[in-house]
Amino acid sequence: MTMLVVSTDAGDFAIQEHEISTITAAELCQLRISRADLRRLFAEAAKLLLGIKPRDQARLVVTRALDGHWKVHTDPHHETAALEA
């Protein structure tokens, strides 16, 4: 199951792909991200994971670039931790 860590000013929030439809409008507003952006980011994450071996345990992190667009990247040096969304 794919999990993204959305990095925001309020902290990091872990979101699993199956949770997209259950995230409330208020939570999306708090994260300052749209449901469409989350779906796009999970699709990009799936492509990134194709080149990563399971033993590498890279964490998928989503950050907002200076241009305002969300980007997904891997953080292989950070251990995946249990975070609450």
Instruction: Give the residue among 78, 70, 60 at the shortest CA–CA distance from 8.
Output: 70
pLDDT of residue 84: 37
| C-beta of residue 29 within 8 angstroms of C-beta of residue 8 | no
Number of residues that make up the chain: 85
When pLDDT is averaged across residues 18-23 and rounded to a whole number, the result is 93
pLDDT at position 2 over 70: yes
Residue 18's CB: how many other CB atoms inside 10 A? 9
- pTM exceeding 0.85: no
